[in-house]
């Protein structure tokens, strides 16, 4: 009996091995250069999956070592992926032939994980439907309506931090609490009060959502590579309690607002309109038409909760990380910090001692600082796409076409591009002047991709940039930031995190600029 079991297991392992070996021949059979140092069963991602290296640095090294090729084949478990290196090919994927690269390649099951049914993960027709319905909620006019919430919460953080004058604080944590307050109020209409209460339920779920371990990594990979197994065993990638919390919160908030006829110009109000299949009027749409029907079908409560959930996660994590990284770089470069504060002071005084939505456009040097921060520390260190219909790409200067077949996964190495000295000389140096008008015009557009590009770029990029900008303006107007003996000189990144998350705790000394 034991012999039979052993032979059966050996047969299964053998069949799996042959399947992997056939996959590892994928690019060789198509005359596409590939990284040959593959290992069973990890492919080229063993150092990451064993916790030795982050995905950001791994894909950066792939790009750096194989940049001579327009693209290079890599293997993730038993999946073939194509790493796109050349800016023109990146443009083709993101814009020119977008119809062939619509999906991100993250298969989800909304019935198992309802909160994963959001715009970021959606595919095909569902993505087009959600993008069409949600786009009017992120126009400049809609974002302007939420400006007062951002200003109120950011000013509150400034007041709260005054008690730490001359002291060392963990900057990332305070900024995460600020952004959680902003997003919870904009997305859910709830005042989470995280600045004072670090144990707020919103803050706890936010931390949990970005806490990754080997178990979570394996579940995610299994759900991605073997969706049939995930579906059969009903494997959830999200904590059921978190799913229940956010769906109940959205359901209760919508019910309360509708029963009491409460209308607040925030994201939740727009979601209520989409639930009821009411047309959200674009700011540029001056039509008086009373035909508000979109497609005869509104979003479900679960779909609304999923959109609010991803707005919450993306809104607080990426912006708080960018803000803390910007303050870190400015503390490391005090002369740049001073120049940034001079720009902020001039605008602040011009607008009679306050920041308005209109004043944000005049903080040009702060724009450069944020963009340079996003270059050095891109929250999304790579972009994913999947071929949904066959497409030909021109292979560099060889004057040949290469057919990319349906289902092939695409990786665009954002972190690698951002550190390429061909595009950003001396890339380790923090230099906001890289993003002045002259330097930007000289550089290929598709080598700086913090928010992606094309029809599937980050829908909330303008909102995220605004809250980052206003928060930094208020903080730098009121405080100086300094390194201490406990501030890391350099960062290393978490191996299992999809976003660019540091292993180090960021501590800075804050000092009030204006004493009473």
**Of residues 290 and 237, more confidently modeled:** 237
The label of the residue with tokens 């931090």 reads 161
Query: What pLDDT, on the 0 to 100 scale, is given for residue 286?
Result: 44
d(CA 76, CA 387): 16
Q: Does 377 score more than 90 pLDDT?
A: yes
Strand, coil or helix: what is 412? Answer: strand
Query: What pLDDT, on the 0 to 100 scale, is given for residue 257?
Result: 94
- Give φ, ψ of 402 to 5 degrees: -115, 130
CA angle 38–39–45, rounded 5-degree value:
75
104, 385 contact by CB (below 8 A): yes
H or E segment and range at residue 281: none
Average pLDDT, stretch 103-110? 89
Q: Does 315 score more than 90 pLDDT?
A: no
Query: What pLDDT, on the 0 to 100 scale, is given for residue 516?
Result: 61
Neighbours of 211 (CB within 10 A): 12
Average pLDDT, stretch 47-65? 93
Peptide bond into 41 cis (omega under 30): yes
| Binding positions | 458
Residue 174 pLDDT grade (very low, low, confident, very high; cuts 50, 70, 90): very high
Q: Where are the beta strands (DSSP E) in 284-394?
A: 383-386, 391-394
Name residues whose C-beta falls within 8 Å of residue 463's C-beta, 6 or more positions apart in sequence.
138, 143, 146, 315
Query: What pLDDT, on the 0 to 100 scale, is given for residue 294?
Result: 52
Domain with 493, as residue range(s), is 2-512
Query: What pLDDT, on the 0 to 100 scale, is given for residue 289?
Result: 39
d(CA 205, CA 211): 10
CA angle 127–128–132, rounded 5-degree value:
115
Name residues whose C-beta falls within 8 Å of residue 333's C-beta, 6 or more positions apart in sequence.
430
pLDDT in tens, 427-480: 999 999 999 999 999 999 999 999 999 999 999 999 999 999 999 999 999 999
d(CA 305, CA 402): 42
Among the listed residues 66, 71, 63, 61, the one whose alpha carbon sits nearest the alpha carbon of residue 32: 71
CATH number of domain containing 6: 1.10.630.10
212, 497 contact by CB (below 8 A): yes
Query: What pLDDT, on the 0 to 100 scale, is given for residue 288?
Result: 38
Query: What pLDDT, on the 0 to 100 scale, is given for residue 1?
Result: 63
Strand, coil or helix: what is 209? Answer: helix
Name residues whose C-beta falls within 8 Å of residue 321's C-beta, 6 or more positions apart in sequence.
172, 377, 379, 499, 500, 501
Q: Which two tokens stand for residue 262?
A: 């409460």
d(CA 492, CA 488): 10
Q: Which two tokens stand for residue 333?
A: 């470069």
Query: What pLDDT, on the 0 to 100 scale, is given for residue 12?
Result: 66
Average pLDDT, stretch 113-141? 94
Q: Does 226 score more than 80 pLDDT?
A: no
Strand, coil or helix: what is 386? Answer: strand
Residue 290 pLDDT grade (very low, low, confident, very high; cuts 50, 70, 90): very low
H or E segment and range at residue 464: helix 461-478
| Binding positions for heme | 458
d(CA 167, CA 180): 23
Q: Does 269 score more than 70 pLDDT?
A: yes
Query: What pLDDT, on the 0 to 100 scale, is given for residue 11?
Result: 74
Angle, helices 201-209 vs 301-332, to 10°: value is 80
Q: Give me the chain's average pLDDT, please.
A: 90
Average pLDDT, stretch 139-153? 93
**Of residues 289 and 87, more confidently modeled:** 87
CA dihedral 460, 477, 321, 91 (to 10 degrees): 50
Q: What is the pTM of this model?
A: 0.93
Query: What pLDDT, on the 0 to 100 scale, is given for residue 371?
Result: 98
188, 336 contact by CB (below 8 A): no
Among the listed residues 154, 135, 178, 140, the one whose alpha carbon sits nearest the alpha carbon of residue 358: 140
Q: Does 211 score more than 90 pLDDT?
A: no
Residue 291 pLDDT grade (very low, low, confident, very high; cuts 50, 70, 90): very low
pLDDT in tens, 320-374: 999 999 999 999 999 999 999 999 999 999 999 999 999 999 999 999 999 999 9
Residue 284 pLDDT grade (very low, low, confident, very high; cuts 50, 70, 90): low
Neighbours of 328 (CB within 10 A): 26
Query: What pLDDT, on the 0 to 100 scale, is given for residue 20?
Result: 76
Beta 383-386 vs 168-170: how paired, if at all? unpaired
Q: Which two tokens stand for residue 412?
A: 């665009």
- Give φ, ψ of 391 to 5 degrees: -150, 145
Average pLDDT, stretch 45-54? 89
Tell me the CA distances in angstroms from 493 to 59, 171, 259, 470, one per residue in order.
Answer: 13, 17, 47, 27
Report how far apart the first and last C-alpha atoms of the chain are (Å, whole number).
Answer: 84
How many distinct structural domains can be found in the chain?
A: 1
d(CA 261, CA 274): 16
d(CA 311, CA 189): 13
Q: Does 491 score more than 80 pLDDT?
A: yes
| CA 275 from centre of chain | 25
Query: What pLDDT, on the 0 to 100 scale, is given for residue 78?
Result: 83
Query: What pLDDT, on the 0 to 100 scale, is given for residue 214?
Result: 64
Query: What pLDDT, on the 0 to 100 scale, is given for residue 18?
Result: 76
Query: What pLDDT, on the 0 to 100 scale, is given for residue 295?
Result: 60
Average pLDDT, stretch 218-245? 81
């Amino acid at each position: 009996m034991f012999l039979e079991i052993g032979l059966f297991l050996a047969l299964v392992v053998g069949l799996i091995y042959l399947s992997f070996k056939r996959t590892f021949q994928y690019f060789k059979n198509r005359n596409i250069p590939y990284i040959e140092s593959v290992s069973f069963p990890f492919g080229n991602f063993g150092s990451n999956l064993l916790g030795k290296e982050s995905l950001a640095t791994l894909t950066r090294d792939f790009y750096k070592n194989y940049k001579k090729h327009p693209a290079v084949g890599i293997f993730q478990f038993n999946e073939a992926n194509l790493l796109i290196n050349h800016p023109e090919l990146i443009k083709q994927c993101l814009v020119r032939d977008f119809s062939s690269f619509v999906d991100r390649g993250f298969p989800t099951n909304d019935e198992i994980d309802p909160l994963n049914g959001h715009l970021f993960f959606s595919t095909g027709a569902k993505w087009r439907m959600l993008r069409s319905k949600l786009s009017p909620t992120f126009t400049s006019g809609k974002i302007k309506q939420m400006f007062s919430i951002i200003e109120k919460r950011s000013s509150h953080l400034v007041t709260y931090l005054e008690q730490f004058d001359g002291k060392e604080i963990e900057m990332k944590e305070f900024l995460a609490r600020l952004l959680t307050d902003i997003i919870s109020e904009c997305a859910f209409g709830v005042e989470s009060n995280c600045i004072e209460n670090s144990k707020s339920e919103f803050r706890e779920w936010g931390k949990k959502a970005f806490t990754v371990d080997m178990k979570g990594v394996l579940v995610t990979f299994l759900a991605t590579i073997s969706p049939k197994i995930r579906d059969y065993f009903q494997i959830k990638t999200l904590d059921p309690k978190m799913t229940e919390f956010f769906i109940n919160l959205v359901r209760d908030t919508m019910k309360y607002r509708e029963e009491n006829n409460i209308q607040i110009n925030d994201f939740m109000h727009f979601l209520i309109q989409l639930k009821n299949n009411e047309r959200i009027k674009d700011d540029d749409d001056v039509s008086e038409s009373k035909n508000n029907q979109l497609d005869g079908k509104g979003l479900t409560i679960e779909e609304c909760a999923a959109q609010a959930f991803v707005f919450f996660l993306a809104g607080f994590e990426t912006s708080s990380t960018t803000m803390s990284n910007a303050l870190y770089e400015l503390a490391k470069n005090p002369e740049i910090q001073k120049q940034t504060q001079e720009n902020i002071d001039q605008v602040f005084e011009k607008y009679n001692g306050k920041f308005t939505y209109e004043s944000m456009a005049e903080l040009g040097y702060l724009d450069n600082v944020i963009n340079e921060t996003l270059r050095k520390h891109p929250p999304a260190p790579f972009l994913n796409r999947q071929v949904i219909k066959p497409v030909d790409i021109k292979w560099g200067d060889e004057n040949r076409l290469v057919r990319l077949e349906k289902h092939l996964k695409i990786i665009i190495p954002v972190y690698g591009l951002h550190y390429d000295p061909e595009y950003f000389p001396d890339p380790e140096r923090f230099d906001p002047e890289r993003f002045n008008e002259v330097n930007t015009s000289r550089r290929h557009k598709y080598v700086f991709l913090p928010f992606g590009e094309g029809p599937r770029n980050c829908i909330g990029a303008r909102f995220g940039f605004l809250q980052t900008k206003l928060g930094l303006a208020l903080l730098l107007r009121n405080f100086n930031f300094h390194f201490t003996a406990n501030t890391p000189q350099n960062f290393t990144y978490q191996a299992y995190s999809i976003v660019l998350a540091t292993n180090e705790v960021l501590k800075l000394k804050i000092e009030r600029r204006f004493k009473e």
